[in-house]
Amino acid sequence: MSRPLPRSAVLGYAVGSVGTGGFSTLPGLVLAYYLTDTLAVPALLATVVVILPKVWDVLIDPAVGARSDRDATTGAGRTRLMLAGALTLPVGFVGMFAVPDPLGAASAGLWVLVFFVLATTSFSCFQVPYIALPADLTEVYRERTRVMAWRIAVLALAILLVGAGGPALRDAAGGGRSGYLTMALGIALLLLAGMVTTVVTTRGHLRRPPVAAPGTGGGYHAGLLAWREVTAYRVLLSVFVLQAVATGVMLAAAQYVATYTLGDQSALTLLFAALVAPALLVMPLWTRYAASRGKRAALTVASGLFATACLGLVGMLWLPGAWIYVLVGVAGVAYAGMQLFPLAMLPDVVTAAGRGRGGAMSGLWTAGETAGLALGPVVVLLLLAGTGFRSSTAAEQLAQPAAAQAAIVLAFSVVPAALVSLSLLVLRRYVDPGAPSSAPVPAPEGTA
C-alpha cells in the first residue's frame, strides 16, 4: 500500500490555492467596478475588456493541458509549467491596475485588456497542471480526499484574505487609481509566494510518470474526448461551470450592492467576509458529512442551501439593511461545500479515466471555470447597461435610475439562485467512479 504523503507536501500543495484563489477572486470582485467607477469606462466597453481575456484563456487552457500531459509523461513533471506561470502572473496582475493618469476611458480600457490577457495566460500555465497534480501525488482515494480538504481550507482562507483584504487595502490607500495600484502590488507578492511554494514543496513527491493516453491528440480534442467518454466528468464539469457562473455574477454584483444598495462602498469587505469566512469553520463539518453521505449528496445539500439563501436576498428591493449579512453568511456556509466537493471529486474522475489524460481534463475544466467566472461580470454589466446604469469617476458618484438599482439586487439574488438550481438538475446524473463500493469513505485524520 502506498505511503501517506508527508504533511509538508500536503500543505505545500494547498498553499498554491493562495495564488489560484486570489487571482480568480479579486478581478471578478473589483475589475468591473474599477473600469466603470474609477476609469469611467462605459459599461459596454468594460464588458469587452472583462470578457476578451477570458475568451483567450478558454482557448489556451486545453493546449496548456496537453503540454502538461507531455511534460508529465516524459518525466519533466507538471511543475515546470507551473513555475513559469507563478513567476509571470504578478507582472500582468499589477499592470492591470497601473493605468497611467493621462489615459482617457478608451485607452485605459485597452491598457487593462492587454495586461489582463498577459495575466490570464500566466494563470493558465499554473492552474491547469495544478488541478491535475493531486492524481500524480497519490493513488490512494483517502489520501486524495486529505490533499483536497487541506487545499480547499487554504483556498477559503485565500479568498477571504484577498477578497476582503484587497478592497480594504485599496480603501486604506485612499482609493482611486493609486489605491488600486497599492492593492495590486500587495496582493501580487502574496500570489507569488503561494504559487512558488507549491512548486518547491511538491516536485519531489510526484509518482512515476503516467502512461501517455494513446490516440487522444492534444488540446481541445483530448479534453472533449474525455468529455464524451467519461460520463462522471461530463456531468461534474457541467455542474461546476453553472455554479461558477452563479458565483461570478454574485461576486461582480457585490461591489454595486455595497455602493448603491447599502450606500457604502467599503461594505464590500463585510459582504465578502460574510460569504467566505464561514468556510473556515464549517469545512471540517462538510468533510465529515461527505464521508457519511457521499460527495454527491453533500454537494446537493450545499447547492440547495446556497440557492435558498440567495433567493431570500431579493428582499433588498424593499428593505435594504444589515439583515442581509445574515443571509449572505448562510450562503457562505453553503459556498464552502460548493467549493470543496467538485474539486474533491475531480481527482477521483481523473484517476478513473487515466492520469495520462489528467492535463487534458484539467485544461477543459479550467476553461469551463474561466468561462463561467468571466460570464458573471458580463451578466452584471449587461444588466446594468440595459437598465440605464450611469458610469462615473472615483471623484463623482452619480445617482442611478430605479431600474438599475433593481438590476443590481436581482444580480445578487435571483440570478445566482436560478443558476445553482439548474446545476442541481444536472448533478442528479453523477455517479462517483472512485469511491469504494462497500462503504462510505471515513474522514481521514488531520483533514481541515
* 393 residue type, one letter: T
pLDDT at position 261 is 82
Return the CATH number at 173.
1.20.1250.20
Determine, yes or no, domain membership for 260.
yes
pLDDT at 444: 38
CA nearest neighbour of 219 among 369, 75, 370, 361: 361
Q: What is the span of the domain harbouring residue 413?
A: 9-201+217-427
**pLDDT value for 1:** 41
Residue 206 lies in a domain: no
Question: 448 in a domain, yes or no?
Answer: no
Is residue 443 situated within a structural domain?
A: no
pLDDT at 355: 61
Q: Which three cell numbers stand for residue 419?
A: 443558476
Directed axis angle between helix 267-276 and helix 231-256, to 10°? 150
Is residue 105 classed exposed, middle or buried when 0-12, 13-18 and 19+ CB atoms within 10 A define those classes? middle
4 in any annotated domain:
no
* Predicted confidence (pLDDT) per residue in 35-46, tens digit: 988 888 888 888
Check residue 168 and give its pLDDT.
85
Handedness of CA 247, 24, 143, 234 (dihedral sign): positive
What are the pLDDT digits (tens) for 199-250?
998 877 665 545 445 444 555 566 677 777 778 888 999 999 999 999 889 8
d(Cα 371, Cα 367) in Å, to the nearest integer? 6
Query: Is 442 part of any domain?
Result: no
Please indicate, yes or no, whether the overall pTM of this predicted structure exceeds 0.95: no
pLDDT recorded at residue 266: 74
pLDDT in the model for residue 438: 37
User: 161 Cβ partners below 8 Å, 6+ apart?
Assistant: 18, 22, 190
pLDDT by residue, tens only, the chain of 448 residues: 456 777 888 888 889 989 988 898 888 778 888 898 888 888 888 888 988 888 888 888 888 888 887 777 776 677 888 999 999 999 999 999 999 887 888 888 999 999 999 999 999 999 888 987 877 777 665 666 677 778 877 887 887 788 778 888 998 888 888 899 999 999 999 999 999 999 998 877 665 545 445 444 555 566 677 777 778 888 999 999 999 999 889 888 888 888 888 877 777 778 878 887 787 788 788 888 887 888 888 999 999 999 999 999 999 888 888 888 899 999 999 998 898 888 888 877 877 766 666 677 778 887 888 788 778 888 888 888 888 776 665 555 666 677 878 888 898 889 999 999 999 999 988 877 755 543 343 333 344 3
Burial of 168 (0-12, 13-18, 19+ CB in 10 A): middle
In 3D space, the residue among 361, 116, 138, 109 whose CA is nearest the CA of residue 233 turns out to be: 361
CA 442 to chain CA centroid, nearest Å: 28
Report if residue 411 sits inside a domain: yes
Count: domains in the chain: 1
Is residue 438 in a domain?
A: no
